[in-house]
Chains A and B, each alone.
Chain A
Amino acid sequence: DAKTTQPTSMDCAEGRAANLPCNHSTISGNEYVYWYRQIHSQGPQYIIHGLKNNETNEMASLIITEDRKSSTLILPHATLRDTAVYYCIVRGRYNNNDMRFGAGTRLTVKP
């Protein structure tokens, strides 16, 4: 079962920052937070992951709260191509590769 809770859907204006929240209140100390997204009819795509520090890469930023019970994925300048379902996943540091996906958040970027 997924260990995360995400809003079902969100809208964002093109060019603005998209902030996607995720609750993972039962996360344990050795578990990472991963974000993937799935654009219609394609396989999921890795975005970013983190343990407790904030992380940034060329695609997005990940902000994890100090108690690690929630996080926010930030797409700094959303484009129409960022319209997708975004999945927040919690998995163990030395876990095998079974990703437990929840329902995700359907982000729609509007012109």
Chain B
Amino acid sequence: KAGVTQTPRYLIKTRGQQVTLSCSPISGHRSVSWYQQTPGQGLQFLFEYFSETQRNKGNFPGRFSGRQFSNSRSEMNVSTLELGDSALYLCASSLATSGSSYNEQFFGPGTRLTVL
């Protein structure tokens, strides 16, 4: 079956702009998580959505937000872009239901955002 897809794969923006990234999870997966990866900070958890609700949130400013639709597709938005927001943004989906003891996550290829 198809894997996690992310669009666009590459994006260039300038400071102060906003950006929306999209993630389509594996069919049947209800949990979608977002991560930011930079050379300096590594992989950092942004937030997780499950059944259209944000279930968990990492330590990022309010400029980073997300949402999930009824078909489990998810978007994340970054407003007022800063140079430091340049990163690879990864989306991961999981079957996990609430309280599941096995939460294997499947990652997409990522969206590489460059802020100039």
Residues of B bordering A, CB below 8 Å: 4, 31, 33, 35, 42-45, 48, 50, 55-56, 58, 90, 92, 94, 96, 99-110
Q: Which of A14-22, A61-69, A76-84, A89-97 is found at the contact surface with chain B? A: A89-97
In the complex, how many angstroms separate the beta carbon of B112 from the nearest chain A beta carbon? Answer: 9
B96: A residues at CB distance < 8 A: 97
Of the residues A44, A93, A97, A103, contact of B94 by C-beta under 8 Å: A97
Beyond the given A42-B110, A46-B105, please list 5 additional residue pairs across the A-B interface where CB-CB is below 8 A.
A44-B43, A44-B90, A49-B102, A93-B101, A102-B42
In whole angstroms, how far apart are the Cα atoms of A45 and B110 in the complex?
13
Please classify the interface of chain A as helix (H, G, I), strand (E, B), loop, or mixed, using the class held by over half of its residues.
loop
Contact across chains for A43 and B42 when beta carbons are under 8 A apart: no
Q: Bits for A84-111, please: 1 = Cβ < 8 Å to B, else 0.
A: 0001000101111111111110000000
What is the size, in residues, of chain A's interface with B at 8 Å between Cβ atoms?
A: 21
A96: B residues at CB distance < 8 A: 48, 50, 55-56
**Which residues from 1 to 48 on chain A have a C-beta closer than 8 Å to any C-beta of chain B?**
41-46
Supposing A42-B109, A43-B109 touch, asked if A97 and B58 sit within 8 A by C-beta, the answer is no
Contact across chains for B31 and A98 when beta carbons are under 8 A apart: no
14 contacts across the A-B interface (CB closer than 8 A): A42-B110, A43-B108, A43-B110, A44-B90, A44-B92, A46-B104, A94-B101, A97-B50, A97-B105, A98-B48, A98-B56, A99-B43, A100-B45, A101-B44
A103: B residues at CB distance < 8 A: 42
Of the residues A42, A49, A94, A101, contact of B43 by C-beta under 8 Å: A101
